[in-house]
Amino acid sequence: MKNVLVLGANGQLARNTIPFFLAHSDVHLTLYLRRSNRLKNPNPSRVTMVEGDVLDIPHLTSAVKGQDVVYANLSGALELQATSIVSAMKMAAVERLIFISSMGIYSEVPSEKYRSVLNPYRDSAAVIEASDLGYTILRPGWFIHDDEINYQLTQKGEPFIGHEVSLNSLSDLIVKLCLSPTMELKQSIGVSRG
């Protein structure tokens, strides 16, 4: 059984990704969110709900213990949250992290200027990259709502291609990364429509 902790489980992308995880019978999910009453447990035999704040390091560390992978899908004080996640994962001796950021954090989107709204994403990615975790940072384009699974990846330092990606494409990639411990290890990956 692969144990996956989903941080920010009530977020749009996380909610979309939960059924993709549950399509794999060997996955157990722990959904971590600030207000657990906002999300119905989709499968009580394979999903545990935990209410908590990512900035509460002792509580987060307790949730991280026993996990194989942490998938973080957060908003708000991202740099502080990233620091908290790194600390909790080190204390719990869990190495694999999938962290959602944003396109544009390295000024890699052609014809677009870097904007200060990206600072929290850039700063949190820097915290993750400076850690010794087995991370993969995803820098998706704007989310679109269609059923397609069609995406392309760009590496850090390469120009970002396009501006959008479907939620289903991201969900498919997130599950592959969580189930493949060495896939795109220690990489920051741009994700856009293929």
- The string of pLDDT tens digits covering residues 155-183 is 999 999 999 999 999 999 999 999 999 99
What local confidence, expressed as pLDDT, does residue 113 receive?
86
What pTM, to 2 d.p., does this model score? Answer: 0.96
What local confidence, expressed as pLDDT, does residue 115 receive?
86
Q: Is the pLDDT of residue 71 over 90?
A: yes
> Could you tell me what percent of the chain has a pLDDT over 90?
94
What is the per-residue pLDDT across 32-44, written as a single tens digit (0 to 9) for each? 999 988 999 999 9
Q: What value does the mean pLDDT take over residues 119-135?
A: 97
**CA–CA separation, 148 vs 86, rounded Å?**
33
Q: Is the pLDDT of residue 133 over 90?
A: yes
Question: What type of residue is 170?
Answer: L
Range of the domain at 63: 2-193
Both tokens of 116, joined, read 């200060």
* CATH number of the CATH domain containing 133: 3.40.50.720
61 confidence band (pLDDT: 50, 70, 90): very high
In the block, which residue shows the tokens 């119905």? Answer: 40
What local confidence, expressed as pLDDT, does residue 111 receive?
82
Count: domains in the chain: 1
Strands, E assignment, the chain: 2-7, 27-33, 47-51, 69-72, 96-100, 134-140, 142-144, 151-155, 164-166, 187-193
